[in-house]
Amino acid sequence: MNWNIIDRPAVREWIEALCFTLMHSLWQGLVAAILVGIVLLTTRKSKPVFRYNLLALLMVLFVAGAVTTFGFMLKSVDFTSTSVPHSMLWEQDPVFSDEAGAPAIVAAGLVTEHGWVRHIVDFFAANAQLIVTVWFLVFALKSLQAISGLFYLNKITKTVSAPEMKWLVRFYELAERMGIKQETELCESAQVTVPMVVGFLKPVVLVPLGMLANLSAGQVEAILLHELAHIRRRDYLINLVQIFCENVFFFNPAVLWISRLIREEREHCCDDLAISVMRNKASFILALVSFQEYNQSRPAFEMAFSKKRNHLLDRIKRIVNNNNKPLDAMEKLFVTFSLAAAIALSAATAPERPVKSGKIPAMTEPAPSSASTRATPRAKVHRLVTSPPDTLPKKKLRSVETEIHSANVRSAREGISTYNVTRNNRQYEIVKRNGKIISLWVDDQEIAQSDYPKYQPEIDKIMEEVKIQHELAEKQREQAEEMRKVAEGQRRLAEKQREEAAQMRLEAEKQREHASEMRLHANANRDEAAKMRLEAEKQREAAEGMRKQADLMRLEADKQREQAEVQRKKSRGNASGGGKRARGLYEEAGTDN
């Protein structure tokens, strides 16, 4: 990188303005995070489209604030010729500007009281080139990743296949029911794992190859209606703008959190829009679950639905209960931290006595008690730079310039006031007792009391200006007191929220311990059930063996019974034959006789 180009005044102006814009975006992000927390807490029962619009509005306001900050930093401070320290940039406030384009600078005592703010600002000022260089490199890398992703999606659209004609007809019918007038296409691709919308002028709905054949018609229609809802809402273009903001403020956790919430609410809006067309919550929920199961069964890349834990469960709970998901523990902790940091930063940077340039009073130490006003030491003059020196022609200032170095400084003697004032390049020291002038010095020369009337008109003007400054300072002191009270209230609120978070953390710890005990008990029951199952399996096997043995014994008994039956029949036959032979022999014997 050519550092000679960076050292040019115009380039250095832009670099330092950008550096301080990035710095200011951190506390602006804290404020946005607090507002987002309030929105989420107060819209639990609201529709997703209302929450989405509020979150998008806060993101737009944040970006507008950053752009305004950059313009103000670039316009209000001339880095090429100013002699004002960079630590004073934090204290510039256009509200107290006396001349157009000449910002007022609050007394430097504020920075002295809060040195850590000055160290942060000085660090950014001293390392502006390095910070902007690192930021630009990361921004360029993320932008290249986003551009390569767009080219990859464009490449995918050239290698897609058309689905069956019945699905094309049904897709166009659903698009008409959704109220989409522009031309859209439905394609299948083996390179995507989840349905998505690509393109803005001629959007294409890509679905994974095989999804149309593996899911029922009602489930496919629910998924297609969800994607068509993205087209109707112009979410593709909004998502590109959102990615650009994320790349610019990649270092800001508040911006990344808000962007994630916007994406979640965008999905909820599309769910509601699809359900309004389907008019059947149960079918839509079943479609989500079925598609998740179908996608988990595929050995593909990491799914978009699974990048956030319980994402599908949160969507289903919201649809069933009509209740938005509350802030989780980490989100509550982040909002609480943002609130505490914003309060601390406000307390550190709130000016106590901001006044107009050219009329800056600086209180001197009280004059010591002395009978003679001439013995009173002169107050030390604190000369403050009211505007940075510039080589360009300046506007003609008013002919009368008054610089008040000390005013209404009371000594130990009640009723004595000392005023050190520079007016029209002349220095006045006025000492009053109970409203009456007792001593007058002009340009280090004491004026006799007889000559006081000559200076009375000038003194009256000086006292009138001092009175105005005192009234303004008193009002600003009251405002500072009110701000202090508000900050104290916010601090107490943050403390209360911290205690609630601690209590919730303890409760969560108790629930975790209880869940751990229940898990151990369940594991023990599972082990016992496994043992009983093994024992029952053994007994079943033993009973099976005994049954088989009994079957064998029954078969053997049947065989023996059959054999006995055969033997019985044989025995009966033999007995019958013997009787016949005996009867024949008997008859033969009778014949012989």
Gap between the Cα atoms of 197 and 223, Å rounded: 12
Indicate if 72 and 175 belong to the same structural domain.
no
Residue 397, in any domain of the structure: no
Residue that finishes a domain, picked among 290, 308, 326: 326
- Contact at 8 Å (CB) between 134 and 393? no
- Residue 515's contacts (CB-CB under 8 Å, 6 or more residues apart) are none
Report the distance separating Cα 260 and Cα 30, nearest Å: 16
Decide: 100 and 131 in contact? Cβ < 8 Å: no
Q: Is residue 80 part of a domain?
A: yes
For 278-293, write each residue's pLDDT tens digit: 888 888 888 888 777 6
From 64, 247, 240, 216, select the one nearest 140 (Cα to Cα).
247
Secondary structure (3-state) at 440 = strand
At 169 the pLDDT is: 92
Q: Which of residues 300, 326, 352 is at a domain's end?
A: 326
Contacts by residues 1-4 (CB-CB < 8 Å, ≥ 24 positions apart): 1/133, 3/129
CA gap 440, 320 in Å, rounded: 84
Q: In what order do the strands lie in the sheet with 196-198?
A: 185-189, 204-208, 196-198
DSSP label at residue 301: S
Q: Are residues 199 and 282 in the same domain?
A: yes
Under a CB-based contact definition with an 8 Å cutoff, are residues 83 and 103 in contact? no
User: How many domains would you assign to the chain?
Assistant: 2
CB 365 within 8 A of CB 395: no
Domain that holds residue 186: 162-251+260-326
Mean of the per-residue pLDDT values of the chain = 76
- The backbone torsions φ and ψ at residue 438, rounded to the nearest 5 degrees and listed phi first, read -115, -10
Asked if 409 and 364 touch (Cβ cutoff 8 Å), the reply is: yes
Q: In this structure, which amino acid lies at residue 411?
A: S
Identify whether residues 273 and 174 lie together within a single domain: yes
102 and 178 assigned to the same domain: no
The three-state DSSP-derived secondary structure of 107-162 is CCHHHHHCHHHHHHHHHHHHCHHHHHHHHHHHHHHHHHHHHHHHHHHHHHCCCCEC
C-alpha 46/C-alpha 24 separation (Å) is 32
User: In whole angstroms, what is the distance from residue 506 CA to residue 157 CA?
Assistant: 52
423 falls in which pLDDT band (50, 70, 90)?
A: confident
Task: Rounding to the nearest 10 degrees, give the CA dihedral for residues 351, 355, 360, 362.
Answer: -40
Binned at pLDDT 50, 70 and 90, residue 533 comes out as confident
Angle (deg, nearest 10), helices 329-349 and 9-42: 130
**CA quadruple 204, 207, 212, 215: dihedral sign:** negative
* Contact in structure between 225 and 178 (CB atoms under 8 Å): yes
User: Which residues, in sequence order, are bridge partners of residue 442?
Assistant: 428, 445
Note whether 121 and 194 are same-domain residues: no
Among 84, 81, 130, which Cα is nearest to 111's?
A: 84
In a domain, 192, yes or no: yes
The answer to the question of residue 491 being in a domain is no
The pLDDT of 87-107, averaged and rounded, is 38
Hey, which bits of 284-356 come out as E strands? none
Residue 450 lies in a domain: no
> Which three-class secondary structure state does DSSP give residue 406?
strand
CA atoms lying within 13 Å on the CB side of residue 362: 18
Within 279-310, residue ranges assigned H as helices are 281-296
Of the three residues 303, 326, 349, the one that is the final residue of a domain is 326
Instruction: Give pLDDT tens digits for 166-190.
Output: 999 999 999 999 999 889 999 999 8
- Residue 586, pLDDT above cutoff 70: no
DSSP, collapsed to helix, strand or coil, labels residue 419 as strand
**What is the pTM (predicted TM-score) of this model?**
0.53
Least confident among 102-116, 205-219, 240-254, 478-492: 102-116
Sorting pLDDT into bands at 50, 70 and 90, what band is 370?
Answer: very low
At residue 418, the pLDDT reads 82
Q: Cα 220 to chain center, whole Å?
A: 33
Residue 264 is assigned to a structural domain of this protein: yes
DSSP state of 395: P
Residues 59 and 107 in one domain: yes
pLDDT of residue 158: 85
Q: Which of 22-31, 185-194, 528-537 has the lowest mean pLDDT?
A: 528-537
- Percent of the residues in the chain that have a pLDDT greater than 90, as a whole number: 24
Rounded CA-CA distance 506/326 in Å is 19
Q: Which residue has the tokens 């630009």?
A: 136
Is 363 a residue whose pLDDT tops 60?
Answer: no
192 & 295 share domain:
yes
Q: What is d(CA 502, CA 496) in angstroms, rounded to the nearest whole number?
A: 10
